[in-house]
Structure 1
């Protein structure tokens, strides 16, 4: 099987295609690219997945055999901590052995740049090219040494947060680490920063099976957290980090799920209120609320294809040209980054920023978002379907057909975006987006509208149209 890179590295099923030998192949190609660019050091980390430490060791050994000096994490760590380590140690790049939010049977090889963020499309393309050629290196091997980044990473978080506000907060927060790489890290930070909040852990012990769910912060995986918060009131909240802790989710008092679009809006408004300025970058699947809020605040908006590497590119462009500096960038799946930190999704930092926003305002996340809806004049409701189709499904034909739709569920089409997939702008501010996976027979359908009923109707009709085209499905 060929090794294929998706929007954020290479992922495959453990023992099927994600094997020691394939990890060595990717690491050798990666070492070739880094060495050709003058790189000397690389950092390697891993999450709580099955065989994580061993896969990391295999990658580290192959990178060292390729002439690089390797700093290898001694224990599991969050992806943002690994990315920060690349900057902190002046490394040429980083490797994180993780499949992020994918099911437990998967693992992956995420490539990080020297700048501490997702590999740019150009860097990924170089590694993919190197994979197609035999890699022979006959120079001296590098070394493999352990490293521990926890205290340095905590100090970096200190620089991003309003510690006086956080230290004054006495509310209840539950952190659902989902058995992933953030286990113990948020409570560890609370001790480090001398916070007085009532911070409780849920699924806070590492579990390669992620307590029976996919480690993705979406409602169907958060039933226990929702139950825990169902009886809470006021500003109590739950924060959720995914398998490698780069994505974030939230649940509010009463057990209500608070989605990534809402988190993006609340944090953007909060950072603006702290006096920070810059461009706003969102993927095309992101909410209209972000567009309207950026306009309301007088901030330039940049829209990208899906994939955090495109947001990373915008952050790097802003570092080179201060007039293009990014205040905040984010994607629909819960990955958010902000100015002054590494150009990387950071579920731990964003969890703390949510707590800070609540502490600073004395209002719940729900109340803060309702204020934004009133400010921009748009009520946000959202739904998504991930459709697993037959291998024969013609994804290109679907996208061609979608471009010609005049209406969906009675909502006339008023505009079209083809930045990534097909996004139809419907009457009344609603939208429906069709996006096909590049590596699997999967089509994702995203819908936003101003009422729950409209979301349900549009999502049902869009889903029906996709399934009607799947001639490979059994009758």
Structure 2
């Protein structure tokens, strides 16, 4: 096996020792005997690291895979860090898991390790969504938490989202410090696997009501819900955790006409009806959309496996069910919350909204029009949660989101919340229907007021170590040979978040970017188009984002302007991906 470097080979040899159970050793030995070099390299070339979504990887044997030992090691490292950060305290953590294969088993494994370290564990008795884990951390006064999920990744993946005492995912310096603690564990013998039953409290179905009641208090227009209680809603959980709580939430808010996509209602880690369980994908929304068409639904929603992302389809101006993208959904929510609060006189001077750097500027435009402050963060909802926590007590978070279909209204949790979003999308639909408008009508009104924004995302999948190296080289090439024009439009400004510098090409003037370093490049054209390149923190992908804008003088121009913008995006993306 000539292509395997020494460090990788050392990891392989370690996993063949008696430290590991016989089944694990046997699986590693089989890979060695069969000379499966690519699989060995991908499984052992590094240790799993915390990215924008925590620990995430393919399930299997190896230091770069999700398994008993990598999860045990991560949990032991987190336990060690919690003990150092909260000395002389009884440490408490919450643990939940989604519908993925092995998620429940991994959840109990995590609970076992925490309990063996003398930590009090609140373990969900059955699968529940990520936002409920965040809510539980805050509800029980925990110092930390763990959610076992790989969100919307393909079925072979699982993941480990680690949370701090504010209910948000780990951010600097805690994420790096936990990794330091994890890397300090040199032997499996340092991991305490033996469960101490007395340290584990099971969280049952009764907890759902706390979460539902807290969310219901956030409702802005319960009168509109009462008037439109028979609003025709189609919902799919795409074989995930959403089925355990979204229908309950909608019913608690007063909606009575909820139709489930039954073929996708049973939790199943194999996700048998979709290629990817991701509501960002048109294919994953197809069954819900079809049911919406059959029923002439007012609103069609679907959540991903851990119910922190939501996809949406609504009736367009032609009466057809049309999918909306994450930028459109987020803009509608922000417009609804701000316009409603202005209408009822509850907007405050210290209110704010949040979006990420790759999310449409339409959201900030809406905020500005209502004189509401906005924050911009790096990609990953954990950074939005970090802002909410940092200014808590001085400023008041209203709503925020990211283009990847993650949103949150109110500050009950510190992560994106598709359950909360489903309730507000339904309420928003009811409110505007009361005025004789569909959500698509409102979207067109927004475009007429603020400009017609059109966005596109292209993701290139590059698997394994070779793929990771290729992505790294693509970003290096973009930095070394930055495009001077895209789609025939001159580039005005280049923002390099890895080097924390923004460069205006005319005059080569530079200013500092006041955000943590991140491997992101943005190109802003003279037309104001924003094109971003970013390696994913949760998947083996490099992502290219494009946002363009054109005036929409009246809705009758919608089709013509849409075609024009699509062509512009196509030309820009052809250049950036080629570069």
Asked if TM exceeds 0.5, the reply is: yes
* Aligned residues: CA RMSD: 2.3
Corresponding residue for residue 293 of structure 1 = 366
Corresponding residue for residue 430 of structure 2 = 359
Query: C-alpha displacement at 1:154, in angstroms?
Result: 1.1
Corresponding residue for residue 397 of structure 1 = 476
Q: How do 1:324-335 residues align onto structure 2 when only pairs under 5 Å count?
A: 324-335=395-406
Query: C-alpha displacement at 1:251, in angstroms?
Result: 0.9
In 1, Cα distance between the equivalents of 2:249 and 2:424? 13
Corresponding residue for residue 469 of structure 1 = none
Corresponding residue for residue 267 of structure 1 = 333
Q: 2:530 aligns with which of 431, 439, 446?
A: 431
Query: C-alpha displacement at 1:415, in angstroms?
Result: 2.5
Query: C-alpha displacement at 1:329, in angstroms?
Result: 2.4
In 2, Cα distance between the equivalents of 1:5 and 1:360? 41
Corresponding residue for residue 19 of structure 1 = 67
Q: Indicate the SS of the match to 2:136.
A: helix
Structure 1 residues 217 and 68: CA distance shift in structure 2, 3 A: same
Q: How do 1:356-395 residues align onto structure 2 when only pairs under 5 Å count?
A: 356-362=427-433, 363-376=437-450, 378-389=451-462, 390-391=466-467, 392-393=469-470, 394-395=473-474
In 1, Cα distance between the equivalents of 2:538 and 2:216? 39
In 1, Cα distance between the equivalents of 2:177 and 2:199? 24
Which whole-Å deviations, capped at 9, do the CAs of 1:238-275 have from their partners, x for residues lacking one?
A: 11211100111201122311111111111111111223
Gaps of 5+ in 2: 1-43, 498-517, 550-564
In 2, Cα distance between the equivalents of 1:212 and 1:355? 25
- Are the counterparts in 1 of residues 93 and 122 from structure 2 also a CA contact under 8 Å? yes
Structure 1 residue 115 and structure 2 residue 176: aligned?
Answer: no
Structure 1 residues 232 and 201: CA distance shift in structure 2, 3 A: closer
Corresponding residue for residue 13 of structure 2 = none
Gaps of 5+ in 1: 466-475
More displaced stretch, 22-31 vs 335-344: 335-344
In 1, Cα distance between the equivalents of 2:475 and 2:574? 21
More displaced stretch, 383-392 vs 305-314: 383-392
In 2, Cα distance between the equivalents of 1:205 and 1:444? 31
Q: How do 1:3-42 residues align onto structure 2 when only pairs under 5 Å count?
A: 3-16=48-61, 17-38=65-86, 40-42=91-93
In 2, Cα distance between the equivalents of 1:440 and 1:212? 18
Corresponding residue for residue 281 of structure 1 = 354
In 1, Cα distance between the equivalents of 2:573 and 2:211? 41
Structure 1 residues 356 and 193: CA distance shift in structure 2, 3 A: closer
- Are the counterparts in 2 of residues 382 and 449 from structure 1 also a CA contact under 8 Å? yes
Structure 1 residues 434 and 11: CA distance shift in structure 2, 3 A: same
More displaced stretch, 412-421 vs 191-200: 191-200
Q: 1:256 aligns with which of 322, 328, 332?
A: 322
How many residues end up aligned between the 2 structures? Answer: 460
Structure 1 residues 340 and 13: CA distance shift in structure 2, 3 A: closer
More displaced stretch, 283-292 vs 418-427: 418-427
| Alignment TM-score, normalising by the size of structure 1 | 0.91
Q: 2:548 aligns with which of 444, 449, 456?
A: 449
Structure 1 residues 398 and 118: CA distance shift in structure 2, 3 A: same
In 2, Cα distance between the equivalents of 1:103 and 1:267? 28
Q: Indicate the SS of the match to 2:460.
A: strand
In 2, Cα distance between the equivalents of 1:313 and 1:252? 32
Structure 1 residue 146 and structure 2 residue 212: aligned?
Answer: no
Q: 1:168 aligns with which of 227, 233, 237?
A: 227
More displaced stretch, 220-229 vs 59-68: 220-229
